[in-house]
Amino acid sequence: MPSETLWEIAKAEVEKRGNNGSEGDGVEIGEKSVFFIGSKNGGKTTIILRCLDRDEPPKPTLALEYTYGRRAKGHNIPKDIAHFWELGGGTSLLDLISIPITSDTLRTFSIVLVLDLSKPNDLWPTMENLLQATKSHVDKVIMKLGKTNSKAASEMRQKIWSNMQKDHQDRELIDPFPIPLVIIGSKYDIFQDFDSEKRKVICKTLRFVAHYYGASLMFTSKSEALLLKIRGVINQLAFGIDKSKSICVDQNKPLFITAGLDSLSHIGSPPVPDNDIGKLHAHSPMELWKKVYAKLFPPKTVNTLKDIKDPAKDPQYAESEVDEMRIQKDQELEQYKRSSSKSWKQIELDC
Q: pLDDT tens-digit profile of 256-270?
A: 999 999 999 999 988
Closest CA to 105 of 74, 144, 55, 52: 144
- Label residue 351 by pLDDT band (50, 70, 90): low
pLDDT at 263: 94
Lowest pLDDT segment from 68-77, 90-99, 239-248: 68-77
Beta bridge partners of 145: none
pLDDT at 112: 97
Instruction: Average the pLDDT over 316-329 and give the result.
Output: 72
More confidently predicted of 152 and 211: 211
* Distances from the Cα of 243 to the Cα of 113, 146, 240, 260, angstroms: 18, 29, 8, 12
> Does the structure show a pLDDT above 70 at 338?
no
> Does the structure show a pLDDT above 60 at 305?
no
Instruction: Average the pLDDT over 219-241 and give the result.
Output: 89
- Label residue 307 by pLDDT band (50, 70, 90): very low
> Does the structure show a pLDDT above 70 at 339?
no
Instruction: Average the pLDDT over 316-336 and give the result.
Output: 71
More confidently predicted of 161 and 121: 121
- Label residue 91 by pLDDT band (50, 70, 90): confident
* Spans of all domains in the chain: 29-296
Lowest pLDDT segment from 127-131, 158-162, 170-174, 203-207: 158-162
Nearest-10 crossing angle of helices 196-212, 285-296: 160
- CATH number, span 29-296: 3.40.50.300
Instruction: Average the pLDDT over 148-165 and give the result.
Output: 86
Percent of the chain exceeding pLDDT 90 equals 45
What span, in angstroms and rounded, lies between the C-alpha atoms of 269 and 248?
A: 19
> Does the structure show a pLDDT above 60 at 272?
yes
pLDDT at 324: 76
pLDDT at 9: 65
> Does the structure show a pLDDT above 90 at 201?
yes
Cβ count within 10 A of residue 287:
12
What span, in angstroms and rounded, lies between the C-alpha atoms of 88 and 40?
A: 7
